[in-house]
Structure 1
Amino acid sequence: MNRVNLLFDGGTGTYFAQKNHKMGLGSEYANLSNPKLIREIHTEYLEAGCNAIKTNTFAVNRIAMAGDEEKVKEIIAAAWENACAAVKDYEAEIFADIGPISNLSEKSDVAKEYCFVAQIFLELGAKKFLFETNANTEGLKEAAAYIKQRCPDAYIITSFAVLPDGYTRDGAMVSDLLEEIKACKDVDVFGLNCVCGARHMLSLIQDLNLEGVTFAAMPNAGYPIVINNRTFYDGDPKYFAEQLAKMAALGVKILGGCCGTTPAHIEFTKKALDGIPQIVSKPANHKEEESLSARLESPFWNRLKSGKKVVAVELDSPANTNLDKFMSGAWELKGAGADIITIADCPIARARMDSTLLACKIKREMNLDAMPHMTCRDRNLNATKALLLGSYAEGIRNVLLITGDPIPTAERDEVKSVYQFNSRKLAGFVGSLGKNVLPDEFHMFGALNVNAVNFDVQIRLAKEKMERGIIGFLTQPVLTKEALDNIKRAKQELGAYILGGVIPVVSARNARFMNSEISGIKVAPEIIERYEGKDRAQSEQLAIEISVDIMKKISPYVDGYYLMTPFGRTRLIAEILKAFAEQEEV
């Protein structure tokens, strides 16, 4: 096979479904219920010319099997036996196949599950491991270290499912993943598998620097089509083989197939590898040239990084198409000294005019910086990337990345959440766009809840966000002594830009509502008492007084102020800013 070290089999699960004529039933259980068929599938791939097969265990772990440890052990043992029986008459390697661990929130839990599965394989005698179809590196390096400690001569491949644009579903860039895995001494091979067809995977590989890397490529057999609720891959095996031969010419040492690839795909690939063409790869990590007009300055950012206090004001977008009040309010805030307008992304999960579109309008028509909030709730990776590309072209340079409020329980049957990211992964994705696609990076901000009961957790999450590129935080409003203390602590421990939250309380009723209904806001009882019995005018005057006092108290510990406009009352915010400026001058 010329310069290729290993030629793997194809998509066992999809080929099982094709032969079994039953979609939706996991092939892994067939290790027990129909071992004869599983062994036949292994043998067909071996007859086609592969010299490495994967155990039929992609989705065998305690998470996928509802915590049933004995069933996990039973299926893995049967799968190992089936693979061993299939290769006894062939010179072929067996790789313990371990798919991604999902639905676990903690990295340590992911690593623990990988190690649990790996230990079962080690006890069976496995020395070669394939961790495949990953969207991130969580738990992989720990699992690799665990295996090498117990079996120093183990051989470990980590393979990632990367979309044609170079990103995983979690927003990790392929070049960043490659560099991270190259730095891990316990991983022997970096690979790509699934998601992409052969031609798109070839394009991804051409843009990577493979020097010093043992690389594995196992693309899908084209892209799926659905007929009568059944998924089919109809990619041409000969075309597939031609693309894999081109990958081998680039230095890819390990090849194979993923979803939809049959023994025919492997047979054509083996033949194609005998006459590999030479291909000149494109430079790695190149960026498309963009016009200088896209590199718009951000006065807000320039002021913030120069050490001057900044003022950000949140203004809710309308729930209809009438922008008159919103735009007139934005102009009023600009006149009052706001450096940037922030716009919530469908707060409390109720649809409003799109925050990013409005931010673009403000930047274009008012020459004022705007910071759209971007939640993880309503957009998948493709939609997020498309929106960021458009907003960058319109001059948006600052974004607030948050998870987003959940859909109210009563509406979940009609309105579906997406949540492909959490805010930390979203930050990693946006940061990667700036490094690999855009001329410059976005300035990414996060949210910090200074009213949280357990602020230790907030500090830990904030540090994780900073590791992903977050450079500053907009806090929830400070209306208690505890919140003020937490602002002080955040500034001391994080070393990030802090914009302290200020929300004018406009009545005692408003304060009680926020305490009871709005997550992340806490109003001190003594503040509520001061509003009792006051009319609107008196309450607004008190709101100015209290807000200015809060701004003065937090001033030594913040890099700016984040004012939230209640009920669209921009005049009230303008009065607060005026009163604060006058006191600052005294």
Structure 2
Amino acid sequence: MLDVRKLLAQRPLLFDGGMGTYYKAKPGQECEQANLTDPDGILAVHRAYLAAGADAIKTNTFSLPRLAAAQQPGWEKLADAGWQLAAKAAGETGAAVFADLGPAPDTENLPAEQVYLAVAKRFALLGARNFLFETLSTEEGVLEAIRALKQTVPEAFVLVSFAVLPDGYTREGRYCAELVRRMAQSGVVDAVGLNCVSAPGAMRALVQQLGDAGLPLSVMPNAGYPVVARAQVRYQGKPAYFARELSRLAAEGVRILGGCCGTTPQHIAALRTALDALPEALPAAPAAKPAAVAKPVVETDDAFLRKLRTGQRVIAVELDSPKDADLTAYLEGARRLQAAGADLLTIADCPIARARMDSSLVACRVHRELGMNVLPHMTCRDRNLNATKALLLGLYAEGVREVLAITGDPIPTAERDEVKNVYQFNSRKLAQYIVSLAGEGREMPSPITVFGALNLNARNFEVELRRAAEKLENGMSGFLTQPLLSAQAVENLKKTRETLGERAKILAGILPVVSQRNAIFMENEVNGIHVDEAIIQKFEGLDRTAGEELGLEVSVQAAKAAAPYADGFYLMTPFNRVALMERLIARLRTEVTD
């Protein structure tokens, strides 16, 4: 069998094309099932790519990590059959065989690391020494699995390849250059690259962003972009164009080339011819991207962030956007809160999954007209990657420099047939994506600061605290907490400060209870809020005026209890009672913050 390392030292390595799109599986059947149900058909595809000139072929096992994670019976037999078919075909020409592993789901019960390792070890037992982890949108679990694999198979050659959109980000919002850098610096990955999603021209532009990765670089684009005709997906990219674009990459130093979706033996044959026509002496890596021209210094902080980072206690106030299209009263309320001493206005993103005026548009209007610092909430519930990016670019252009990234309340059950969740991200991945948009050659000249939510009332607070640490690792700068309406919430806030230290900016949540009915409703129907029974009983029989007075007193006492562990306060306005919040801000400024 071909020694991949020796070949790469002499010339570029040519892979096969897209098995899944070339082999026509029966409707509803996984392509991998054909390893057992139609072995001759799979063998014929392998032989066609080898006849076209491929130096290496992939086992027909792309979906195995997903099947193994689902604990589907028989995935091991699919692996065995897939390996045996590829090895048989490759043995006829001396080509290399790569055990092919697609993305593995990552869950708390079964981490991706365990799934990758189980599948990779299965192939190692069969004799595999070359491994391809492909079409990944994140590196979760990959490096850990490879380290463990190389303890068993030290001589293993491992190629890791990411699926990247033409703008340079994966579908989970990871920036390609950062992913490639992590693989190159890991010390256990032998080659790294990009595959799928993008067409040859876009892939070439992406490679130019990577510069010299320090490892052999792999490029396996789709034949083009898919066209759906009569429920059939077709790729119309021509072999000649495919070969021309990839041979240019080879001339610039890319060492591993091949094809993904839509690439046929004809594409690989054309590329073989083009590669054979190249001069023998080729650069070992793509030319580094030229240094960028120096740009003016960009203001990265606003008044709120500067105050927070210099240790002054801040006050943020949440005011829900209108349910209709009239902002007149809302802007007046925001103006009053600003005059009262609020440092920041936060706007929820369709709370409890019911439509209100868009939080980001409202934030831009408030910032533009009042010059007030704003923190729009951004949920993962309603937008995919494209919509999220478009909104973030608009916010940055409007001068908004911070957002709150949250998963978002689920759509109520009764509405799910008509209103669909999106959830392409969770809040950690969304934060990671937002901060990745800033940097040299990227979309934003300076980063947007990302805050997250912290539920001090979570039943299993240890899990909540662990997630908070993960959020910090993924780019968040701090947290706005759920309201403190119990002694346990204060204790959990203290534990948060002790655990996370000063690296996390914490705004303690304060929500004035205004009546017993209000307190009972929040305790029983609002997710993430817990009101002590003693507080509920205090409001019995009080009218509106007395209820607001007691609510103010409870809120001030909660703020005093939270003050030693918080960098500021996050005030939630009940029923849009701006006058009540003006009084609360005044008391906090007098009794707590100043």
Place the TM-score, normalised by the shorter chain, in its bin: over 0.9
**Pairwise CA distance, 1:289:** 8.4
The 8 Å contact of residues 175 and 285 in structure 1, kept in 2 or not, is answered as: no
Aligned partner of 1:518 in structure 2 is: 526
Output the amino acid matched with 2:487: K
* 1:356-379 deviation digits (Å, cap 9, x = unpaired): 111111111100000011111111
Instruction: Decide which moves more: 108-117 or 521-530.
Output: 108-117
Aligned partner of 1:505 in structure 2 is: 513
Structure 1 Cα separation of the partners of residues 471 and 109 of structure 2: 14
Aligned partner of 2:307 in structure 1 is: 303
**Pairwise CA distance, 1:446:** 0.8
- SS at structure 2 position matched to 1:222: coil
Question: Which sections of structure 1, spanning at least 5 residues, go unmatched?
Answer: none
- SS at structure 1 position matched to 2:132: strand
* 1:260-280 deviation digits (Å, cap 9, x = unpaired): 000000001011113448899
Aligned partner of 2:102 in structure 1 is: 99
Aligned partner of 1:90 in structure 2 is: 93
Structure 1 Cα separation of the partners of residues 579 and 490 of structure 2: 26
- SS at structure 2 position matched to 1:238: helix
**Pairwise CA distance, 1:25:** 3.0
- SS at structure 1 position matched to 2:378: strand
- SS at structure 2 position matched to 1:196: coil
Change (3 A) 1:211 1:518: closer
**Pairwise CA distance, 1:106:** 3.0
Q: How does 1:65-84 map to 2 (within 5 A)?
A: 66-69=70-73, 71-84=74-87
Which among 551, 554, 560 is matched to residue 546 of structure 1? 554
Change (3 A) 1:153 1:497: same
Structure 2 Cα separation of the partners of residues 285 and 482 of structure 1: 56
Aligned partner of 1:15 in structure 2 is: 22
Structure 2 Cα separation of the partners of residues 117 and 511 of structure 1: 52
Q: How does 1:210-225 map to 2 (within 5 A)?
A: 210-225=212-227
Aligned partner of 1:574 in structure 2 is: 582
Structure 2 Cα separation of the partners of residues 289 and 14 of structure 1: 45
**Pairwise CA distance, 1:296:** 6.7
**Pairwise CA distance, 1:86:** 1.3
- SS at structure 2 position matched to 1:434: coil
Which among 3, 9, 13 is matched to residue 6 of structure 1? 13
**Pairwise CA distance, 1:288:** 9.2
Output the amino acid matched with 2:219: A
Which among 205, 209, 212 is matched to residue 211 of structure 2? 209
Change (3 A) 1:177 1:126: same
Q: How does 1:307-322 map to 2 (within 5 A)?
A: 307-322=311-326
**Pairwise CA distance, 1:438:** 1.1
* 1:503-529 deviation digits (Å, cap 9, x = unpaired): 000110000100111111011111111
Q: How does 1:134-283 map to 2 (within 5 A)?
A: 134-276=136-278
Instruction: Decide which moves more: 477-486 or 413-422.
Output: 413-422
Aligned partner of 1:480 in structure 2 is: 486
Question: Which sections of structure 2, spanning at least 5 residues, go unmatched?
Answer: 1-6
Aligned partner of 1:46 in structure 2 is: 50
1:359 matched to 2:363:
yes
Structure 2 Cα separation of the partners of residues 179 and 510 of structure 1: 52
Instruction: Decide which moves more: 144-153 or 194-203.
Output: 144-153
Q: How does 1:128-139 map to 2 (within 5 A)?
A: 128-139=130-141
Corresponding residue pairs, total: 580
Which among 51, 57, 62 is matched to residue 58 of structure 1? 62
**Pairwise CA distance, 1:40:** 0.5
Change (3 A) 1:585 1:100: closer
1:429 matched to 2:427:
no
Output the amino acid matched with 1:520: G
Output the amino acid matched with 1:442: I
Q: How does 1:453-468 map to 2 (within 5 A)?
A: 453-468=459-474
- TM-score for both structures, normalised by structure 1: 0.95
Aligned partner of 2:3 in structure 1 is: none
Aligned partner of 2:128 in structure 1 is: 126
Instruction: Decide which moves more: 410-419 or 474-483.
Output: 410-419
The 8 Å contact of residues 207 and 282 in structure 1, kept in 2 or not, is answered as: no
Instruction: Decide which moves more: 79-88 or 169-178.
Output: 79-88
* 1:256-308 deviation digits (Å, cap 9, x = unpaired): 0000000000001011113448899775497798887x747511001111110
The 8 Å contact of residues 563 and 592 in structure 2, kept in 1 or not, is answered as: no
- TM-score for both structures, normalised by structure 2: 0.94
- SS at structure 1 position matched to 2:107: coil
The 8 Å contact of residues 68 and 115 in structure 2, kept in 1 or not, is answered as: no
Change (3 A) 1:296 1:179: closer
1:490 matched to 2:501:
no
Aligned partner of 1:382 in structure 2 is: 386
